[in-house]
Structure 1
Amino acid sequence: MIHIFKKSIPALALALLSFSSCDKWLDLKPQEGVVAEDYWKTKEQVRSAVNGLYISLITSSLTQELFMHGEIRTDMIEVSTFATQAYTEYRFSDMLSTNSFSNWRTFYRMINYCNNVIDNAPDVKAVDPTLKQAELDAYIGEALAIRAWMYLNLARIWGDVPIKLNYTASDEDLASIAKSSQSEVLKAVVADLVRAEPMVHETFGTTAADKGKITRYTVNALLADAYLWQDEYQKAADACDEIIEAGVFELVSGDPSTWINELFGQGNSVEGIFELQYDRQQLNPFYTLFRQNALYTAGQNVYEDLFQFDATDPENFDVRGDRGALSTATNMIYKYHAFSRTQTKSLEDSYTHWIVYRYADVLLMKAEALNGLNRGQEALDLIYTIRERGNAMQGTDLDPGADDEQGITDFIVAERAREFAYEGKRWFDVLRNARRNNYARLDLITGMIVNYAPADRQQAMLGKYRDVNSHYLPIYYMEIQRSGGVLEQNAFYGN
């Protein structure tokens, strides 16, 4: 059973007060999440409710969960001694349905907020004639895209999950919903995005809004991602081309003195497509996660193995490595705390955005699609574009042939690890490529496990990961209990 609880009016008032000082693109005081039944009367209320979706994205635990699900099972991080047992159980394949990290509540709550807009906003047009159809369509398109993003996350974290496409107004309206297959969920994701694509804006007229809200480019990035999970390579390439051919985005310079500041220190760069907009009024959670009593640190061998270095020339380095993704001096995950390679942020400055998609991602998603289409040389050209910008070390060049599909896959997975280190993508990149053609590349997962599993855990972990059902999380035990037998536990974990 999916339990999504209605927020009280006092809670909404608190949310309004908390963000009344926001002076970026949230020009109305936004409601967070679910709003009262008598709320939907004016176009201003519709706009406020949609703005509330974005507020909910940054005030919930979403980014912490996205980082965890995307990184904790990989060779990129270490879990520190400050972490509780729940973290180590997840990292070392000891997950049970009682582990709170198997709770999908954050994602379904966000879906319900989107459903609220999708279901109720159209009624406003009948009572407020100043709400134009194009405005209404754009608002609904944003909600559809955010809902699709949530379901894409659910599908790649839990696999088979329930699909709920209508708003739950109260506890009494909740119903038990059986799971749909992962393929059905991905089809629903694409359906939402295809519907949203002509509805949403290409631009809102300001940089912060264009990067912080759903645009047509965000929808196409999501479509490319979803198509890759379905092995729809031509459709994925086409979605990438919608972004590339628009000429709106480009890679920021790989100059070591500016790269990290442009992308992360300040954010909303020419490379950014969709970024969750933390600011001084709403700081991000990364200072605590990665710096103050850090729960996560960089993996011990990430720098030497993944980025490498030039022992003969200290001025020759991958800009994404030391004091890019991580600090080799402290093993701190660095990119969320940096103004520059030499200056870090204080807690009060911890407003680095969570980047969902950026132009480099589009280029590498297209490379992945082209490789699937047996257009290897074109894929390699895109990979080398990314490598040149980052000044990748020669020792990391796998140099596959244009007709070596498996070698290019290895190259893409490795380059994505360098480019998107600690951006919540690593596990999903490995899983997506491993599972193709009936898990023809299971070695991508088992090889990664060998890289980080402690010697006394390695064989047990490998045994579990060879069962492909283990690649998805269990359904939280309380959901199973409340469903009255409607929800079945994911296969690896029993009932």
Structure 2
Amino acid sequence: MIVMLKNIYFKSCLIALCAISQINSSCNKALDAPSVEVSTEEVHWESVSDTKAALIGMYGLLRAAMVDNNAHWMYGEFRSGDFTSYRRQDLSAVINSELNKSYDLLENLSNWRRFYAVINAASLFIEKAPRVLQHDSRYTQFNLDLDIAQARAIRAFTYFYMVRVWGDVPLITSSFDNGKFPEFARTDYRDVLTFAEQELIEAVEVLPFRYGVAPQQYYGSFSTNWQKILFNKISGYAILAHMSAWQGKYLDVAAYTQFIMDNYTQSNITYLNNIAPSSTGTAGLAGNFGIFTNNFQFGQIVNFSAAYSYGEATPSGHIEQLTLATPYVNRANPDVYVSKDSITSAFLERNDRRFGVDTVSGLFRENYFKDYSNEIPVFNKIKIIRDGVNEGNYAVFGSNLVFTRLEELTLLRAEALAVLGQHIKAIELLNVIKAMRFTSSYQVSELDTKPLIDEVFKERRRELMGEGWRFFDLVRWNRIKSTDAKLTDMIQKGGIYWPISRNVLRNNRQITQNTYWN
């Protein structure tokens, strides 16, 4: 089975690499307008193997877009967050929201072309996959419906992801081949999200909780082979919940997260009650048998795999590339780290299993940070290195990009209920996470002295550190109540969005710069 899936991934990665190569190498102005070109020569839409490769290729393109230049963490974790740069000025520019400085990193991160490769691949699949029904009897209407639902969900998720980064973006709903397409102007982000929401609402009606439930296989595999790879019904509702939260539609957030809480077990999803799981596969957060690896035995909500067994592990595109140092990799200091002041301001309780003090030994717990006694602690919450050993200058990382997990959605639901005034239920959810991390419960009697919404976001800071949420959480928090005058001003003036690449502006006259960066 592993060999078969390796072959699928190899073919789909060729498609993804070809698409990205065409985007990055072409001089055609259309490719910067934005680029929606994706190579279709490898896919002839005649057999079930073509749809399989194209389907997995979409996921590969999406992951590639999110991790290129470590974008997921640049956009959501490092900007205005808890991490500090060690002698890298381009990373300091991201951290300080100085996004219009002249660094190659910032120019690359400001370019949305790789995301439009995903959108074009999804649109192409929706348009072309029905042809396979006419050519291959093994491909059924059931298969087609599942595949198209995933393509629609991927396209919707990609638009949501871009809206959080750039605000208004061109809304393109048809595929274009050979670069023959017009230039597109930007669409109001609310219209983009309305389209994405409708796509997801229709997709979740078709998406299953699990693929390939015995005795029925999906593309020749049973559910255990798909549970960390494909979007399912819970994935769709999770994305809908976050799209609604970004727009401040907390009644919708409450409804979507209620469905998740009622049904997540059907997708073989569980809470991470332990920080460091055992080698037997006990559910946990950190370590080589934790949620960020494919050794983790349970399914995931929105996850992008980088398993060694599928040949997906790489030296780049992982947070470890920036955060690890001795004793994990051969360098004295990491590119980014969390300062001691930030650590102590976030983790206030000695019993916290994420970072605290072992009351027996008197030593600091190292589930999130290694060598706290040093001047620069190493953030080691995510450290998936081949064989778990120091590989010197050639370290290869295999951590999955976990966009959202059950604990994150529990806190999102607590956020929504707190905003809606349903304090008792919100407190119960907040305390679910606190109990798992051995910290003190929040009490109803504290509502007047410790605002509940503040406590929810503080818990998100602790629980989700390093997972790409910090900046977007700060934006939502300051939209609910102004806690940071500078960030509130940026929200009001559109400064939370990234500037648009100079390359895109130069080659597409329909695109205008985000006004904050003019």
TM over 0.5: yes
- Alignment partner of 1:78: what SS? strand
Going from structure 1 to structure 2, the CA distance change for 1:220 and 1:467 (only over 3 Å counts) comes to closer
1:434 pairs, out of 471, 475, 478, with: 478
Conserved in 1, the CA contact under 8 Å of 2:293 and 2:399? yes
Task: Specify the alignment match of 2:497 in structure 1.
Answer: 472
Conserved in 2, the CA contact under 8 Å of 1:271 and 1:358? no
Task: Specify the alignment match of 1:421 in structure 2.
Answer: 465
Task: Specify the alignment match of 1:89 in structure 2.
Answer: 93
Compute the TM-score of the two structures, normalised by the length of structure 2.
0.77
What is the root-mean-square deviation of aligned Cα atoms in Å? 3.1
Q: CA deviation at 1:282?
A: 1.7
Q: CA deviation at 1:465?
A: 3.5
- Alignment partner of 2:139: what SS? coil
Conserved in 1, the CA contact under 8 Å of 2:78 and 2:94? yes
Task: Specify the alignment match of 2:301 in structure 1.
Answer: 273
Letter in 2 for 1:305: S
Tell me if 1:314 matches 2:360.
no
Moved more, 40-49 or 346-355: 346-355
Task: Specify the alignment match of 1:491 in structure 2.
Answer: 515
Task: Specify the alignment match of 1:377 in structure 2.
Answer: 424
- Partners of 2:62 and 2:444 lie apart in 1 by 40
- Alignment partner of 2:239: what SS? helix
- Alignment partner of 1:192: what SS? helix
Task: Specify the alignment match of 2:26 in structure 1.
Answer: none
Superposed CA deviations along residues 330-377 of structure 1, whole A, max 9, x for unmatched, are 5222122168xxx76756662121111211122112112212221111
Task: Specify the alignment match of 1:49 in structure 2.
Answer: 54
Letter in 2 for 1:337: K
- Alignment partner of 2:44: what SS? coil
Conserved in 1, the CA contact under 8 Å of 2:351 and 2:357? yes
Q: CA deviation at 1:316?
A: 5.0
Going from structure 1 to structure 2, the CA distance change for 1:299 and 1:26 (only over 3 Å counts) comes to farther
Superposed CA deviations along residues 194-220 of structure 1, whole A, max 9, x for unmatched, are 121122232123334112211111111
Tell me if 1:151 matches 2:198.
no
Conserved in 2, the CA contact under 8 Å of 1:117 and 1:140? yes
Conserved in 1, the CA contact under 8 Å of 2:77 and 2:468? yes
Moved more, 128-137 or 187-196: 128-137
2:341 pairs, out of 283, 301, 319, with: 301
Going from structure 1 to structure 2, the CA distance change for 1:158 and 1:152 (only over 3 Å counts) comes to same
Task: Specify the alignment match of 2:378 in structure 1.
Answer: 332
How many percent identity over aligned positions? Answer: 21
- Partners of 1:97 and 1:167 lie apart in 2 by 34
- Alignment partner of 2:50: what SS? helix
Structure 2: where are the runs of 5+ without partners?
20-37, 212-221, 279-283
- Alignment partner of 1:238: what SS? helix
Going from structure 1 to structure 2, the CA distance change for 1:59 and 1:462 (only over 3 Å counts) comes to closer
Superposed CA deviations along residues 94-140 of structure 1, whole A, max 9, x for unmatched, are 22286412112222222222222122212322333442222111111
Q: CA deviation at 1:422?
A: 0.5
Structure 1: where are the runs of 5+ without partners?
1-19, 447-460
1:179 pairs, out of 176, 182, 186, with: 186
- Partners of 2:389 and 2:459 lie apart in 1 by 26
- Partners of 1:141 and 1:413 lie apart in 2 by 33
Superposed CA deviations along residues 383-410 of structure 1, whole A, max 9, x for unmatched, are 0101110123x4xx77565866992221
Number of residue equivalences: 443
Letter in 2 for 1:310: R
- Alignment partner of 2:402: what SS? strand
Letter in 2 for 1:278: A
Q: CA deviation at 1:429?
A: 1.1
- Partners of 1:233 and 1:198 lie apart in 2 by 22
Going from structure 1 to structure 2, the CA distance change for 1:240 and 1:311 (only over 3 Å counts) comes to closer
Moved more, 469-478 or 285-294: 285-294
Moved more, 251-260 or 219-228: 251-260
Superposed CA deviations along residues 43-64 of structure 1, whole A, max 9, x for unmatched, are 2211110011222344456261
**Aligned ranges 1:354-365 → 2 under 5 Å:** 354-365=401-412
Moved more, 235-244 or 358-367: 235-244
Conserved in 1, the CA contact under 8 Å of 2:431 and 2:442? no
Task: Specify the alignment match of 2:323 in structure 1.
Answer: 290
Tell me if 1:75 matches 2:90.
no
